[in-house]
A and B are shown apart, each in its own frame.
Chain A
């Protein structure tokens, strides 16, 4: 008689059912408003930029899988997400080979050497962006005026499009010319996906609600940016823009919700995540004030990612341990 044998495994026997793939797709969905705003402001060419970056990343990952004789991992959409995030950090008018090459480099240098998803010490998309920024600074610097430029202050068709941060870096007193609500709503020159703090905030809230990311790192990052900028502005109002300006320009919002909370490259302990964000935010202001033409938020976060293992040591006291020392 053959009796039925059942599956055995250790508890728990129920799982939530959330998968990595779902979490990556949720992140992409959370980015849709920002992408749509980029398309509205800069035209359909930005979609081509995004697709070029995603293709670069996906093709590279598939090739790496093939060469390494590993199972194909592009099905989890991580490579596509890397390409998307990378493209959103680039100016709208970059030559198309830049995003493609960025996607290739992000995977080839930032992810593949370390192993499967979960092993890379730095966020692959940031690695791609920073290699591009270091290697082809002139090719990267292709900003265009947004469609709503007429409403934005300082709209001057003759002048080349210049992101607020660059303008302020050249002349800090320019910060007063920007209207905060205009910046918050996304009327500014900047990278494809980073110009609308409002829509990025909404996307971030979606991620928080779906538990794709934890709140500590984004909140810490925003506090870090605001407090550092506030203190610096208070000390030297002539050379540092106010905190609101720094919160709503550049990639601050994008960094808070989509870079600071990138899983693998950031800490997992509650205080570790918060301090990671806080320090990264502070470093962003340092870079913005003391000079760096492009990629200040990516640089700050990559720098902090190098210290992730240290931040992870800031763990909570386990249950009952405090009592035993008392």
Chain B
């Protein structure tokens, strides 16, 4: 039975528009979950685009680089959507195109895996779709030994056996990965290098490509054909077909365990195409991540924009919606993105899209009582009974919800999308999960 929801529109896969460098960028010192960098520049320093401005060696965070050339203006604090303040470096652009010269690396793959991983860290690569963790952290997490994998308690590691590359965004209304994939064109050497490097680092055996059924990428398919890479086609409109668990299920031929984020142990590492290309750039010429292709989504259209990291959302909003006055600003796509309270906020490496919605574009949650119509159970891609789970969480029966497989929920939002009572299902699920985890921690 096909589950999930059919979303009405599909993002166009047009080329990304290159943004005029902004006058000022604000670079958050914490670009990834849990780890932040230490600045290595002072106020008044002149920096070039691509020059390292903060170092994450101490905490294992990915390094941070200036995204435009100019002068370090100030250190500031930015209020994040979770209410905490985070330090950031403000760079005022000089309008020039000063770029840190690339260091050509002749045989990038001759290095040891650990060294490759260190170079990836130094290039500051963040996996936007994986809860904004750095590529190093993602690989580390998947490969590190854990005690609970073994009945004796001795820590063992589960190897990464498959690498799956996602060429299309999970959210059908976001077109950033489609645009990046479209830019590959005929030259697939970078893609090949990125894949080879990741294979070397993870010692995985197989590579898989996940493409939308309408995507025509002849060169990529040829590369797949030549290198024994399996190509899987999904329908992006059948949301959430491009989410990690569903791709992993297609790769493995069976469903991986998703509860408690154990999908990392399934042996499948799902990475976005932009991450793979950034890896290739980092290893080939030491080029760090300074720009990001993101989707600007609004009711007037969907566009892909390549912008320097740290560009204010306001500047991107201008491109997204000329003259449109939004009511809701979302970092990410409309199905899984995070609403933000202000446009006065810098884009970070984990931003995949900026979605602007007017009052008439979105329906407010009503939270009427569940009427047990069964629509949510029909669409849930993980075959849960979301209506029942949401009620259990609403009435604070969190332990019972956990027994009813609350943690198998992947928070895709299909249930909330179809709910005629307008219940904020995902909110109940997330609350339930955090309450259970907090209860366990305090035990």
B-binding residues in A (CB < 8 A): 3-20, 22-23, 115-119, 211-212, 214, 263-264, 266-270, 273, 312, 315-324
Task: Tell me if B408 and A6 are in contact (CB < 8 A).
Answer: no
B408-439 interface (Cβ within 8 A of A):
408, 410-411, 413, 416-422, 424, 426-427, 430
Contact B363–A17 (Cβ < 8 Å) = yes
- Report the number of A-B residue pairs with Cβ-Cβ less than 8 Å: 173
Report yes or no: B381 in contact with A20, Cβ–Cβ below 8 A: no
Known pairs A11-B335, A13-B328, A118-B421 / 17 extra A-B pairs, C-beta < 8 Å: A6-B329, A10-B426, A12-B335, A14-B173, A15-B362, A15-B422, A18-B375, A116-B369, A117-B368, A270-B1, A270-B378, A273-B374, A318-B384, A318-B408, A320-B249, A323-B256, A323-B257
Measured between beta carbons, the chain B residues less than 8 angstroms from A117 are 368-369, 371
B422 and A6 contacting across the interface, CB-CB below 8 Å: no
How far apart are A142's CB and chain B's nearest CB, in angstroms?
A: 34
User: Which residues of chain A are near B427, meaning CB under 8 Å?
Assistant: 9-10
Question: Any chain A CB within 8 A of the CB of B245?
Answer: yes
Q: How many residues of B contact A (CB 8 A)?
A: 72
Q: Establish whether residues A13 and B343, one from each chain, have CB atoms under 8 Å apart when the complex forms.
A: no
B335 contacts A23, C-beta separation under 8 Å: no
Residues of B bordering A, CB below 8 Å = 1, 5, 7, 81, 173, 245, 249, 254-259, 326-330, 332, 334-344, 355, 357, 361-365, 368-378, 381-385, 387-388, 404-405, 408, 410-411, 413, 416-422, 424, 426-427, 430
Structural contact, A321 and B416, CB atoms closer than 8 A: no
For the complex, give the distance between the alpha carbons of A13 and B338 in Å.
Answer: 9
23 residue pairs of the A-B complex, CB under 8 angstroms, read: A9-B424, A12-B416, A12-B426, A13-B357, A14-B173, A15-B417, A19-B422, A20-B420, A23-B420, A117-B369, A118-B368, A119-B369, A212-B373, A263-B373, A264-B372, A268-B372, A268-B376, A268-B377, A312-B385, A315-B385, A320-B258, A323-B254, A323-B257
Asked if B362 and A20 make an inter-chain contact with CB atoms under 8 angstroms apart, the answer reads: no
Interface of A, secondary structure class, is loop
Indicate which residue in B343, B385, B413 contacts A11 across the interface (CB closer than 8 Å): B413
B330 contacts A321, CB within 8 Å?
A: no
Closest A residue, CB atoms, query B252: A323
Assess whether A321 is in contact with B408, with CB atoms less than 8 Å apart.
yes
Across the two chains, which residue of chain A brings its CB closest to B330?
Answer: A13
Determine whether the beta carbon of B374 is less than 8 Å from that of A268.
yes
Instruction: For B263, give the chain A residue with the smallest CB separation.
Output: A320
Residues on B with C-beta less than 8 A from A3 are 342, 344
Contact at B328–A263, with CB atoms within 8 Å? no
Contacts of A19 in B (CB 8 A): 420, 422
